[in-house]
Chains A and B, each alone.
Chain A
Amino acid sequence: MTLVSGQEPVTAFEDNDHKPVGHGRMLRKEDPRLVRGKGRFVDDVQLPGMLHLAILRSPMAHARITSVDTSLAEAHPKVKLVVTGAMLAEKGLAWMPTLSGDVQAVLATDKVRFQGQEVAFVVAEDHYAARDALELIDVDYEPLDPVVDVRTALAPEAPVIRDDLEGKTDNHCFDWETGDADATDAVFARADVVVSEDIVYPRVHPAPMETCGAVADFDSVDGKLTLWSTTQAPHAHRTLYAIVAGLPEHKIRVIAPDIGGGFGNKVPIYPGYVCAIVGSLLIGKPVKWMEDRTENLVSTGFARDYIMRGEIAATSDGKILAIRTHVLADHGAFNGTAAPVKYPAGFFGVFTGSYDIEAAHCKMTAVYTNKAPGGVAYACSFRITEAVYLVERMVDCLSYELAMDPIELRTKNFIQPEQFPYTTKTGWVYDSGNYEPTMELAKELAGYDELRAEQAEKRARGELMGIGVCFFTEAVGAGPRKDMDILGLGMADGCELRVHPTGKAVVRLSVQTQGQGHETTFAQIVAEEIGIPPQDIDVVHGDTDQTPFGLGTYGSRSTPVSGAAAALVARKVRDKAKIIASGMLEVSVADLEWAKGSFHVKGDPSASVTIQDIAMKAHGAGDLPEGLEGGLEAQICYNPENLTYPHGAYICVVDIDPGTAQVKVRRFIAVDDCGTRINPMIIEGQVHGGLTDGVGMALMEMISFDEDGNCLGGSLMDYLIPTALECPDWETGFTVTPSPHHPIGAKGVGESATVGSPPAVVNAVVDALKPFGIRHADMPLTPSRVWDAMQGRPTPPI
C-alpha cells in the first residue's frame, strides 16, 4: 500500500497556526447519517396516502401494438389507476423531448421500439399489488423485424424504427465531423508508418446501486407539484417538467435527496418520472415509482456503444503525425444522449489525446437501433471515455508496430508544458498540463523497469504477464455558455452564501452530489476563502426551491463550475466583510489585510476583527459604512471561460492464466493531476471507484442483444460488476498543475479514472498476449474472449 493520500493523518487546527484552512483531508460531513442508516434516499420517502406505481414493459424489441386490454387490472381491488399510451396521447403527454432534442415515448402508442420499453402503468395501494396488476394487462403485439446490428442498420432493407418522425425512411440519426479531412489525408499519405485497427467500445451500463425512482406529490389546492427524484440535475429537470407537463415552473419543486450513486445514469428524464407525475396529477395523492434492477439495466441510459475504425500515422522513429477515425454510434431507439446541444457526439473531439500532432479528423454516423436510448453516461465526460480509449489503444498498436516501449513513445509525443494553453487540431484549448513528471511518477511507483524485467523472465518461462500504460487528458467542466447549453439552458452554475449573525454559514449549490462528497468539499472551498471553519458551514443542495439555478452534477463539472462559483461568492462576501471591517477598525479598506478568518490593519496585527465579529456587526446594531446594506450574503452564477483539462498516467499489471485465460489485475498504479486538490481523501476515493469501473468494463461488463433484440445483460446475474475479489489494492499518486482560469486552480477529477483505466487494462492484456501475435482484442476481455484470442480467433462481434 504505497503512496496513498488517504493515509495522511487527520490533523487539527493547531497544525495550521490556529487558522481555519479549508483545503486538505477532512472526514465527510455526510457520513454520520449514512453509517447510521439515516440517509434519506427516494425509496425511503413515505408520505400520507402514498400510492405505488409499476410499469408494464415491452417483451419485444420491435412490434406494433394492436390492442391493450386493461379491464382485469382495473378490476383488481387494490388498483387505483391504469394508464396506457393512448390515454396519455389524449392529454398530449405520450411523447416527451429528450436532452438531445429528439422525442421519446413516455408510454408506447403506435409500436414498441426496444425490449423493456414502457407500455402502460398501474397505480395501486402497495408495491406488490401494483406488480400483480401488471400481469393482468393484456397487450397484443404484431412483431416487426428488429434492427439490432448497428453495422446493417442503414441498409436499404432495414426496417424503419422511427416511423413516428415525419418523412423518416431510414435509421439514420445524425452525422458529425471534426478536424480537417484533407490535411489529415495528406499527412497519412506521406507517413512512414500507418496502423489501423477496428475497435469496439461495447455497450455498458452505469448501474448505480440505487436504481432510478421518484415520488410525485401534486397538491391540487395550491397547484404545486413536489417531486422527489433520483436526479443529478434537479433544476434542469424542473424546467423540462414545466415544458413537458405544462405546469408553471414556480409551482414545481424538485427535491433530489440522498442519491445512491448516479454515474450519469440519473441525468436524463425517464418515462417513469413522468408517469409518477401523471399518476399524482390524476389521483391527487402522492405516487411512488421505484424501478427494479432489471428495469434499470434494460431501459435507462446505457453508455458507450461506439464502433471505431482508428488510424494513426507516424514517422519510423515514433513521431505521431496524425489520427483519423470513422465512428459508427449506436444510439438506440430514441436519441436520448445527454450532451450539450452543439455536441451531438459529446466531446469525442478530444481524441487526439495528450499528443502534439499535425492533423486529425473524425467522421461519425449515429444510427437508431431497437435498443434502449442513452449513450452518454457512466463517467464518460461526454464521450471522452471513447476518445481516450481510441487514442490510447492506437498509440499502443503503434508502439507494437514500431517495437517501441509504450511509455517512451508517449513521452516522445507529449504536448510540452510551455505549449499550454494548447489548441488541438480539433479545436479544443487545453488549459494547462505538465505530462512528463506525471508519467515519470507513475513509472517510478510501478517500478516499471523491474516490471519489464520480470515480464521478460516470465515470458521465457511461458507465463503470461502484461503491463498496460494509459496517459490521458480529460476535458471537464461544461461549459462556457457561448458554446454549451442543454436544451437552451446555458451550462452555468449558481452558488449562494449566507453568513448568519453568529458567524456560521450556509452555502447553497445548484449541483447535486451522488456520493462525491460535495457537502464536505464545498464547505472546504468556502472555508478556505472566508475563514469560517468548514464544520460551521452547512451545504444545501438538491432542492430547487432552496438553491440557485444551475445545471447539476455530471461530466465532472461540479468543481470546475460550481466550485468556482463557491470560491467567487465567498470572495464577494469577503469583499463586503472588508468594508464592514474598515468601519469597525476605523481605517480605510486599503489599509486592511486578510489573514484567513480576520482582517487586521496593515502593520498592526493586533488591530483586527474576525469574520465572526464582522458577521455580527453586519446583522447587528449601529451604523455600517456609508451605502452598505445590512446582512452578509451574496449570490453568483458562474459562467466558465473554458473547460478544465486534468490528466493522468496509469499503469496496470495483469497476469493471465494460460490454462483458463482468466485475467487477474495484480496491480494498478494511478497518478492523477487535477490541479489544486480540495480534499485528497475524497479525490482518492473518486479515483478508486473509477478504476473499478475500468476493470469492470475492460474485463466483465457488457449489455448485448441477441438477433431478436432480447437484452442479454438485464440483471446482475449477467451484467457482471467487479467485487472486492476482482480488484487489486489501488496505488495512487498525484501531481499538481493548476488550471490557470479557475478561481482556485482546481480541475474536475471524478471521471478521470473511469476514462483512463479501461485502456490501461486492455493494453495490459494485449501486452500479455504478445507471444500470440495479437495487437487488439475487444472488451470485455472475459476468459472466453481471451481464450479465443489465444487460439487466433477474432473476438466475436457485438
Chain B
Amino acid sequence: MQVTMTVNGEEVTREIEGRLLLVHFLRDHLGLTGTHWGCDTSNCGTCVVRLDGEPVKSCTVLAAMAGGHEVSTVEGLEQNGALDPVQKGFMECHGLQCGFCTPGMMMTARALLDENPSPSEPEIREAISGQICRCTGYSTIVRSVQWAAAEEAGTRTTTTAADGVPAAPETAPTTTPGSAS
C-alpha cells in the first residue's frame, strides 16, 4: 500500500506493507535513525516521536496509521542550525550518556514544554515515566528539562554548550571530604 505523511515538515510518500511499524518506516525507509527501538512491548519509549504534536511510541503505531498526519522526530528538533533548548539542556546538564534513550526523552520533553512551559519536578518525572533510561538515573534529565524551561522563559543567558571547556579542577584536598555544591 501507499502511504503519504509529513515528516519533519516534508511530505513523503512510500510503498509499504500494511503491517510496517512507524519506527521501522522512519528508520529503514526514511533513514531517520535517531528514533530507536529498545523493546518489543511498548515499555521503553526510545522510539517516541510526535504525531500531530502528541508524543507517541512509534513501535506501537503502524506507519499506515500515520498516513495524512504530521510526524516529527529528533532530527527535526534543530531549526535553521539552532539547537532546540531541550537539546542544549541535555548537553548542559549531562542528561545523556550512551544516548540511546535521548531522542525519545527529548521528544517527550519538547511536547511537555509546549503544553506546560514551567513544569514542576514531579510533572517532569511523570511526563517521562513511560520511558526508560539505563544510564543517567533521571536526575540530570529532570535538570535538563528544567534548564530548557528556564532558557525558554528567558531567565538564562545562553552559554556555549557544544564544546565546553573544562572548569578548574575540584579543590578537595587529598583525603579530605569535599563536595561541590
Seen from chain A, the residues whose Cβ lies within 8 Å of a Cβ on chain B are 2-13, 15-16, 21-32, 34-41, 43-44, 46, 126-128, 207-211, 258-261, 263, 292-294, 417, 434, 437-438, 440-441, 445, 514-517, 524, 527, 533-535, 671, 677, 679-682, 684-693, 715-717, 721, 723-725, 727, 729-730, 732-738
Contacts and interface: CB of A to CB of B under 8 A. Distances in A.
B166 A685 contact: no
Contacts of A723: 128-132, 138
A32 B162 contact: yes
B140 A36 contact: no
Contact of B180 (A3, A729, A730): A3
Given A24-B169, A724-B124, 18 more contacts: A5-B170, A15-B167, A23-B169, A28-B94, A35-B74, A35-B83, A36-B78, A39-B34, A43-B33, A261-B97, A437-B177, A681-B94, A685-B94, A715-B41, A723-B128, A729-B121, A734-B179, A735-B176
Interface in B101-133: 101-103, 106, 121, 124-126, 128-133
B50 interface: no
A725 B159 contact: no
Contacts of A28: 91, 94
A759 to B, nearest CB: 18
8 contacts: A3-B180, A40-B33, A41-B33, A126-B28, A292-B40, A681-B94, A736-B173, A736-B175
Contact of A30 (B37, B99, B126, B165): B99
A554 to B, nearest CB: 14
A46 B177 CA distance: 50
Contact of B141 (A8, A684, A724): A724
Contact of B90 (A22, A31, A515, A689): A31
B132 A25 contact: no
B129 A437 contact: no
Nearest first, the 10 A-B pairs at minimum CB distance are A37-B34, A515-B98, A260-B100, A688-B137, A34-B99, A27-B164, A515-B97, A37-B74, A26-B166, A24-B166
B37 to A, nearest CB: 7
Given A729-B121, A735-B178, A34 B128 contact: no
A735 B94 contact: no
B162 to A, nearest CB: 5
A260 B177 contact: no
A209 B169 contact: no
Contact of A677 (B33, B162, B165, B170): B170
Nearest to B144: A35
Contacts of A685: 94, 97, 135-137, 140
Contacts of A13: 165
Consensus secondary structure, chain A interface: loop
B34 A535 contact: no
Contact of B40 (A35, A294, A441, A677): A294
Contacts of B15: none
Contact of A293 (B40, B139, B163, B166): B40
Interface string B75-103: 10110000100010011111011111111
A795 to B, nearest CB: 26
Contact of A21 (B35, B44, B164, B168): B168
Contact of B165 (A12, A23, A263, A688): A12
A677 B40 CA distance: 39
Interface in B22-46: 24, 27-28, 31-41, 43-44, 46
Interface string B143-181: 100000000000000010111111111101111111111
Contacts of A16: 168
Contacts of A445: 179
Nearest to A535: B163
Nearest to A259: B98
Nearest to A437: B177
B169 A417 contact: no
Contacts of B140: 6, 684-685, 688
Contact of A725 (B31, B87, B125, B170): B125
A4 B102 CA distance: 22
B73 interface: yes
B24 to A, nearest CB: 7
A389 B103 CA distance: 35
Contacts, number: 281
Given A263-B134, A685-B140, A535 B167 contact: no
Contacts of A126: 28
Contact of A35 (B33, B37, B87): B87
A12 B166 CA distance: 7
B142 interface: yes
Contacts of B125: 724-725
Contacts of A534: 165-166
A639 B125 CA distance: 44
A532 B161 CA distance: 20
B11 interface: no
B20 interface: yes
Interface centre among B46, B98, B163 (most CB of A within 10 A): B98
Contact of A736 (B34, B176, B181): B176
A22 B166 contact: yes
Nearest to B32: A37
Contacts of B162: 27, 31-32
Contacts of B38: 209-211, 260, 293
A769 B102 CA distance: 38
A6 to B, nearest CB: 6
A724 B129 contact: yes
B52 interface: no
B180 A36 contact: no
B165 A535 contact: yes
Contact of B137 (A24, A31, A524, A689): A689
Contact of A689 (B74, B134, B178): B134
B178 to A, nearest CB: 6
Contacts of A39: 34, 99-100
A440 to B, nearest CB: 7
A155 to B, nearest CB: 37
B166 A36 contact: no
A692 B175 contact: no
A32 to B, nearest CB: 5
A62 to B, nearest CB: 25
Contacts of A27: 91-92, 94, 161-164
Contacts of A294: 40
Contact of B36 (A4, A41, A441): A41
A735 B177 CA distance: 4
Given A7-B181, A11-B167, A35 B135 contact: no
Contacts of B180: 3-5, 7-8, 680
